[in-house]
Structures are given as structure tokens and as C-alpha cells.
Amino acid sequence: MEYDLSKFCEGLKNLDISLTDKQLNQFLTFYEMMIEKNKCVNLTAITEFEEVVEKHFLDSLCIIKSIDLEKPLKILDLGTGAGFPGIPLKIAFPNLEIVLMDSLNKRVLFLEEVISKLSLVNISAEHGRAEEIARKTEYREQFDVCVSRAVANLSTLSEYCIPFVKQGGMFISYKSGEIDEEVVHAENALHLLGSEIQDINKFVLPGTEIWRSLVIIKKNSRTSKTYPRKAGTPTKDPL
């Protein structure tokens, strides 16, 4: 099938990202696999190619505005869903070591198919809940960066994500809409988790009128073993 790549290429240019033909084909194969699997597993409500380019591919890659992705970083994508932002980041920046984590096994199995089909290396998909996996020594405070596009308030997301981040590392939350009040409400949680907001990068997605924010949180000290609390608590009773 032929795809109009003009919007994708324009967006990549705006982000100062250059891809080889092989990488572009990996994105197309990923798109086709996602659309096919979406018929039987709920992966995304966004299925039109141009919309996927804007709201999934370019959106995932926009983190380049806030972090140097040429470095050999170890990144956790928590609540990855259909593989965003982790798969696009891995395709565009093969030097990254990435762990995709999701609580739904059907999604994890799909991501393993994608990893295999695209011949991606130094990337894995893990099934589990953050509350449980964050207590395992092989994951706790092992990542340079944790990223998440999951839909939850910043206090809740921080409690799930920050325990995975090394001291001196970062948690970067992808957000849309107005976030100033949410950021203020998260200050107590961040303090308890040994972290603080380093920057908030607000911008319009390339080629769209969609406002996005990247909330960059720096981890200053180790996280108390109290966190994350038991399943469901961070959502019902944010710090």
C-alpha cells in the first residue's frame, strides 16, 4: 500500500530528526501491524494513517525537545499500550535501550511480535503492574529515564514511575491540555518521592494545532520503599 509520507517527513524535519529508508519502512510496518491487531485487541482509537503520524509517531518523538536521545540511555516506557512512545523512539534512535511495560498481556504479546518483525534489539516488552514490578531489584531505580503517555494525574503517575528511575535520572510525562494546576497538586507527591520538576516544555505538535506539554521531573534522592503503595491506592488516593 502507498502512503503519503509528506506530513511525516515535514514533522520529522521540524524535530530535526532524519530517518533512513529502512527506518521509515519500520514505521510503516509498525502501523500496518497495529491496524491489523486492532481488529481483535483494543490498541488505539486512532487508526487513520495521517492521524497516527501526528498523534502517535510525531507525538512520541517530540521528547527530543527535552532530552538528548543520541546518548545511550536506558528508558522505561510505563503503560506503553500499543507501544507509544517506546517503539517510535527505538526505531528513530536505535542506540536506546528500552523496556516497554504494560498491565495487559495481549498488548505485550503484540509488542513482542512488533519487536521480532522489525528486528529491533535491546528492547523488551514486560507484562505486569507498576506497583508490583517496581519492588523487584532488577527494575527498581535501574533506568536513566522513565516516560509515560498514560492518562492519569501527575501525582498518581509519579508514584508509579519515579521508583523505577535512578537517582539523578528523569521521569518525563507526556501531557495535553492545561496542566498548571495539576503540576501544583503534584508538588507534595514529588517531594515524598525524592523528586522535583526541572522543566515544563509546552509546544504545538509539528503540522497541527495540538498543544502538548512535557513535564520533566528530576530524581534527586532515592525513593522510600513505601512507594509505590499497593494496587489501586495511587489512583484512588493520590499523594
Residue from 9, 12, 5 nearest 28 by CA: 5
Compute the distance between CA of residue 68 and CA of residue 45 in angstroms, rounded to an integer. Answer: 30
Compute the distance between CA of residue 214 and CA of residue 202 in angstroms, rounded to an integer. Answer: 7
CB-count burial class (<10 Å; 0-12, 13-18, 19+) for 206: buried
Compute the distance between CA of residue 40 and CA of residue 60 in angstroms, rounded to an integer. Answer: 24
Q: Extract the C-alpha cell encoding 89.
A: 523512539
**What pTM was estimated for this model as a whole?**
0.95
Q: Which pLDDT score, from 0 to 100, does residue 154 have?
A: 96
Amino acid at 23: Q
Dihedral of the alpha carbons of 103, 93, 179, 231, in degrees to the nearest 10: 20
From first to last of its 239 residues, the chain has per-residue pLDDT tens of 789 999 999 999 999 999 999 999 999 999 999 999 999 999 999 999 999 999 999 999 999 999 999 999 999 999 999 999 999 999 999 999 999 999 999 999 999 999 999 999 999 999 999 999 999 999 999 999 999 998 889 999 999 999 999 999 999 999 998 899 999 999 999 999 999 999 999 998 877 888 999 999 999 999 999 999 998 899 899 99
By the 8 A CB rule, do 77 and 101 touch?
yes
Q: Which pLDDT score, from 0 to 100, does residue 124 have?
A: 98
Q: What is the largest CA-CA distance in the chain?
A: 52
Compute the distance between CA of residue 158 and CA of residue 80 in angstroms, rounded to an integer. Answer: 15
Sheet holding 97-102, edge to edge: 123-127, 97-102, 74-78, 143-148, 165-176, 211-219, 195-204
Q: What is the residue extent of each domain of the chain? A: 6-236
Compute the distance between CA of residue 11 and CA of residue 84 in angstroms, rounded to an integer. Answer: 17
The answer as to CATH 3.40.50.11610 being correct for domain 6-236 is no
Give the per-residue SS3 of 185-234.
Answer: HHHHHHHHCCEEEEEEEEEECCCCCCEEEEEEEEECCCCCCCCCCCCCHH
